[in-house]
Amino acid sequence: QKNNPYYVQRFYFFSLYDKGIQMDKESWYSVTPEEISEYIASIIPNSYNSTILDAFCGCGGNSISFSKKFKRVFANDLYEEKIGMTKNNAKVYNCPDNIIYFINDFLTLNLEGENIDYVFLSPPWGGPEYKNEEIYSLKKWIIPDIEKIIEKSLKISKNIMLYLPRNTDLEELANIIYKYDKNDIESLSNTILLDVKYLNPASKVKAILVSYGPKYNTVKVK
């Protein structure tokens, strides 16, 4: 705790932090703060009748908020330890019993037979160093490969949402989405519609939320 610069923000990350929340080293700089994850869950249309995949669930910041607003949540992470933390933290928050857990590389995750309305993506930003970039290239920093993430996501649902650094190169992102969703874009001009929300948390995390797909009704031309 003494060497953890994020510890002062613990109740901002989880208001119930002292009720038994579990986090690991990576979680301290990558968890979505509660107020932000609540906001994200609240703006997704028709959530109570919908299902959502939290493809990179980490210690559960987003999944906890989704659980309270969605019919069903699919929470996935590459590591068993993270799923353990998400399970524990969902219990701390008294989440309904509607979270289904997967431990898998998202790129090979098999969700056959499941009906998924939304995919939420908070992939690793490449460590805290992302802040030093003037323009943040997803292709350079995001692990695993952003193109593969987008390609995979669009196969699961046409409604995707990404939680990304505020300095993200949106044109690069638009081009990647265009590449993998060309067939469904009616317009012949290579313009796609992204809804970009700048999140202004009290924490040092400076993020944007990018939504793409027919279920999101407010769109800005990019």
Rule CB under 6 A: which residues touch ligand SAH? 27, 30-32, 56-62, 76-79, 82, 105-107, 122-124, 144
Cβ closest to ligand SAH, residue 90 vs residue 192: 90
Which residue lies nearest ligand SAH, judged by its C-beta?
61
Shortest reach from residue 92's CB to ligand SAH, in Å: 13
Q: Which is nearer to ligand SAH, 72 or 82 (CB)?
A: 82
Closest distance between ligand SAH and the C-beta of residue 31, in Å?
Answer: 4
Are 59 and 86 contacting, i.e. CB atoms less than 8 angstroms apart? yes
Contacts with 22 (C-beta within 8 Å, 6 or more apart), sequence order: 59, 84, 85, 88, 89
Cβ atoms of 91 and 64 closer than 8 Å: no
3-state SS assignment for residue 198: strand
CB 102: neighbour CB atoms within 10 A? 18
* Amino acid at residue number 110: N
Contact 140/108 with Cβ under 8 angstroms? no
| DSSP bridge pairs for 196 | 210
Q: Report the SS3 class of residue 146.
A: helix
Q: Are 78 and 105 in contact (CB under 8 A)?
A: yes
Nearer to ligand SAH, 40 or 192 (CB): 40
CB of 174 to ligand SAH, least distance (A): 23
The distance of closest approach from Cβ of residue 90 to ligand SAH in the complex, given in angstroms and rounded to an integer, is 11
Token digits for 211? 């939504």
Nearer to ligand SAH by Cβ, of 125 and 193: the residue is 125
Q: Pairing relation of β-strands 72-77 and 51-54?
A: parallel
Of the pair 13, 216, the CB lying nearest ligand SAH is at 13
- Residue closer to ligand SAH (CB basis): 124 or 201: 124
Q: Nearer Cβ to ligand SAH, position 104 or 175? A: 104
Least spacing, CB of residue 78 vs ligand SAH, in Å: 4
Least separation, in Å, of the C-beta of 144 and ligand SAH? 5
Q: How far is the CB of 47 from ligand SAH (least distance, A)?
A: 17
Cα distances (angstroms) measured from residue 114 to each of 50, 100, 124, 171, 179: 12, 11, 25, 32, 25
